[in-house]
Amino acid sequence: MEQQIEEYLAYLSAERGLAQNTLDAYGRDLRAYARFLQKHNLTSFQNTEKEAVRAYLEQLHNLGRASSTISRNLAAIKSFYQFLVAENIIDKDPTVHLESPKVDKRLPRVLNLNEVEALLNQPTLEDASGIRDKAMLEVIYATGIRVSELVSLDMTDINLEAGYLRCLGKGNKERIVPLGSVAIKYLELYLQVARPEMVKRSGETALFLNHHGRRLTRQGFWKILKRYAEEAHIDVNITPHTLRHSFATHLLENGADLRSVQEMLGHADISTTQIYTHITRNRLQEVYRKSHPRA
């Protein structure tokens, strides 16, 4: 069973170009499913029936897993069985006609403009790390890129003269995202003053460096963000994705069209971007209630 999972992950990597984080998630979900089957004396994917898959999903439900988690597991299992059938490893797909549970679309938490301003003003420009932090926060809010995309940026991925950056999103899809004037200003400062002080070896390609002179990690950025959120007295649970959500919401609130926001965020499907229209609609209702005499 493990060998077949490994073959499937290799297929996803080679044929569909999925990112390592996505491959790891598929692997975890499928191995947990395989352990469930083995616990119930099913030692081959060939012998599984629809009832076994249903029983596994029911177990996830009984363990209190969210609908989104159960849906993700079913999607991984369905895709895996489709692969096994296509490769003639099994005869039939037990997941045919199995439906995912309804997932409640939770609206992402976004920062208001005052909170964003407070957060972005926390780094001091007195040392190299402060200048770096300021540049990173300005870039991630100006572009809405994912934190994994931010820390993966190389020196060759930014063009300050033209005012854009290039990043690789999910599935290694490249996109070009414009940079605002404020982000450009602090990137220039970082490149002129801070990065030369932080770099430890010639030929280093990473744009944002840690104190060892190596590429900053996602975990490193997370810690930096948490610290500044505390200093800004933002008492909600803020994550790197919060800035991405805020970027999209603020664009839509100020008249950007959905298709442009989709392109900048790197969403393959516009339905993923449409969640932000619910947020802006809620905001409009709030403004209406506060402002209209008959509300």
Q: Which residues are catalytic?
A: 146, 170, 241, 244, 267, 276
In what helix (H) or strand (E) does residue 4 lie, and over which residues does it extend?
helix 2-16
Assign 255 to helix, strand or coil. Answer: coil
Question: Got the DSSP string for 104-160?
Answer: --PPPP---HHHHHHHHT-S-SSSHHHHHHHHHHHHHHHH---HHHHHT-BGGGEET
Whether 245 and 171 have beta carbons less than 8 Å apart is answered as no
Residues 6+ apart with CB under 8 A from 6: none
CA separation for the pair 135, 187 (Å, rounded):
5
CA angle 137, 281, 117 (to 5 degrees): 25
The closest of 97, 114, 3, 106 to 50, measured between CA atoms, is 97
The closest of 80, 69, 65, 64 to 27, measured between CA atoms, is 80
Question: Got the DSSP string for 29-69?
Answer: HHHHHHHHHHHTT---GGG--HHHHHHHHHHHHHTT--HHH
